[in-house]
Structure 1
Amino acid sequence: MLPLAYRGVGKFVAPLMLALLASCATPATFQGMVADRYDVARQHPVSVSVRTSGGSETSATGKTQISNNEFAKALTESISKSRVFSRVVPSGGDYLLQVVIVSLEQPTFGGTFTVKMEAGWTLKRSDGTVVWQEAIRSIHAVSVEEELVGVTRLRVATEGAARENIKKGLAKISRLNL
């Protein structure tokens, strides 16, 4: 039998452990960063290669992050769905699209999680000539009514900010004369 001082500790330890386990961060997924609709002015009949950087991996005890790999997959899928370019190739495309995640501002707690993202977009011809370069900012908010669990709410808000950034970037590229 436990000493009197330790009786009832289980009532507090078990819920605390469950809360800690339930609050493990989950990474942003490429599926959550791909939009359903795009504002495309023109579809360019050329190929593009995609490179992403500035992302980071999610640790179990940290906040949701966007990995370079998942962001590249989301960008590739978005280009394919929007048809801004005729096709995405692993390397040697007519153009190279480089997107660097510059900042990701995320809340620590609250009812509505608002995530702000800034990414630097650069489009180059295959000869290295810069055709277009711009910093794109996006924002996405998810309320407790939309998603009750905090870690999931943060992941969904982060994916939404990335999705909006991709939509804005592709819309701007579709307005270029390539």
Structure 2
Amino acid sequence: MTTIGTNALRGAAICLVVSACAAPAEKTAMVPTEISLVSASSPYRANVKKVDTYGGQETNPMLMSQISADDFKVALTDALKAAGILNPSGRYAVRADILSLKQPMFGTSLKVEMTVRYNVIDSNDRIRLDRTIESVYTAAFSESLIGVERLRKANEGAARDNIARFLRVLGSAATGGVAVTS
């Protein structure tokens, strides 16, 4: 076995023993908790055919919980479906670029700040909406005694609130996670 393989096995064994390995943000936990159908007057109602996401980062179990572009795409797509925005024959595409995910290294309350730039692009490749949305979520110590789980929850809350804010821009009433003040 190679040195890299041996080190990976040791790392995995330590993770199992300590049971505090970093896990990626869960897709379903990033979807806003309450989503209403987009208003009938919104030009985006049943009019977005695809979603593309960029940025983010895969989680390394030995480091910190992260949000990958693929997982964020699933959450955003699910939210757009719930709001009545997604339709395979629509004329718009949504592009979401995760610009930053600011995370603390440690602490009792973990505050995560997320910035995502959203573009709604028409079938002629013209940008119809360009919005950068910032969100913040603080996971209190009471949410989890284990720091890596608390960080994952803070990531999920920041993503959930970010998506909810974007849905509100498109005309849907949506609520994300409530930030705990620290």
Shift of 1:47: 3.4
**Aligned residue number for residue 72 of structure 2:** 71
The AA in structure 1 aligned to 2:125 is G
Equivalent residue pairs, number: 155
* Structure with larger Rg: 1
Cα distance 1:124–1:67, how it changes in 2: closer, same or farther (>3 A)? Answer: same
Alignment of 1:15-34 (within 5 A): 21-34=18-31
Indicate which of 154, 159, 162 corresponds to 2:159: 162
Structure-2 separation of matches of 1:88 and 1:156 = 30
**Aligned residue number for residue 118 of structure 1:** 115
Which TM-score applies when normalising by structure 2?
0.78
**Aligned residue number for residue 12 of structure 1:** none
The AA in structure 2 aligned to 1:66 is I
Shift of 1:151: 0.7
Structure-2 separation of matches of 1:67 and 1:19 = 23
| Contact persistence 2:140–2:150 (CA under 8 A) | yes
Shift of 1:139: 0.5
Cα distance 1:160–1:173, how it changes in 2: closer, same or farther (>3 A)? Answer: same
| Contact persistence 1:40–1:170 (CA under 8 A) | no
The AA in structure 2 aligned to 1:151 is V
**Aligned residue number for residue 13 of structure 1:** none
2:83 counterpart of 1:102: no
C-alpha RMSD of the superposition: 2.0
